[in-house]
Amino acid sequence: MTEENYTDTNTDDAEPVPGMCNEQGKFETWDVRNYSKGRTPAVIDKWTSEVSSAPFLTGNHAPATVFCSSHWFTERNGLVADGWYEQGTRFLDVRDPAHVRQVGYWAAPNAVTWGAYWVTDSIVYTADVGRGLDVLRITRPKAGSEAPTVVAPIRQSWLGVTPNRTSELMRESHRWHFACAKPAFGRLG
C-alpha cells in the first residue's frame, strides 16, 4: 500500500508545513492475515525514495516540492511500478515483503507521475500530469537471478529554483482544463 503524504508534521512550526519531503509518503507492505478474525494488521516493511535522506535547505525545507510522495501503483509478478509524483516511476521488488528494494526507476525531468500501470510483464504505462503518457519497457532478470538494488540520482533541479510545481510547468487548456494541460513554456516533443 502507499501512504500518500506530503505535509511535514515533524517540524518546530505550530502548523504542519506542506512541501517538505522528510515525511514523504511511503510504499509499505503489510501483514493482513486473519484480519477478518480480529487480528490487527501490521507493517512488514517501508520504502521511501532517496529524497528522504537529501540535504535540507534553509528553514529545514526539503529539497523537493510537495509532490514527493508515493501514489498509485500496480504489482505484477513480484515487481511494483509506483508513480512517485515529481520523482518519477519507481520499480520495487516485493517478492520478499520484509525487504522491499528498488530495482529500477524512470525519473524524467519535470515529471509529475500520478500512477504506473503494468500492461504486460514488460510494459508499464505511466500517467503524468505534465508529460502525459510514458510507455516504459522493463527487462526482467533471467529466471533464477535477481535484479540488483539501485539508487536513483537526486536531480539538481530538486534542490534549486527551477520550475517544479505543476502550476509553473503547465497551464490549463481552455477546453479540457488540466486534463489536457499545455506546457507553460517552450514546447513538448
User: Which candidate, 90, 50, 53, 54, places its Cα nearest to that of 70?
Assistant: 90
Q: β-pairing, 79-83 with 42-47?
A: unpaired
Question: What whole-number percentage of the chain has pLDDT above 70?
Answer: 63
pTM of the model: 0.71
pLDDT at 186 over 50: no
Q: What is the DSSP letter of 60?
A: G
For residues 25 and 9, the answer to whether their CB atoms sit within 8 Å is: no
The stretch 118-140 carries a mean pLDDT of 91
pLDDT at 69 over 80: no
For residues 110 and 169, the answer to whether their CB atoms sit within 8 Å is: yes
pLDDT at 50 over 70: yes
**Residue 48 main-chain phi, psi, to 5 deg:** -125, 160
Q: Which residues of 48-86 are buried (b: 16+ CB within 10 A; e: fewer)?
A: bbbbeebeeeeeebbbbbbbbbbbbbbebeebbbbbbbb
Sign of CA dihedral 6, 54, 83, 2: negative
Q: Which of 109-113, 116-120, 149-153 has the lowest mean pLDDT?
A: 109-113
pLDDT the model gives residue 131: 79
| Rounded Cα–Cα distance for residues 116 and 89 (Å) | 7
| Rounded Cα–Cα distance for residues 150 and 67 (Å) | 22
Which range has highest mean pLDDT (21-30, 45-54, 118-127, 156-165)? 118-127
pLDDT at 1 over 50: yes
pLDDT the model gives residue 110: 74
**pLDDT for 145-182, tens place per residue?**
888 999 887 766 555 444 444 444 556 666 766 555 55
pLDDT the model gives residue 112: 83
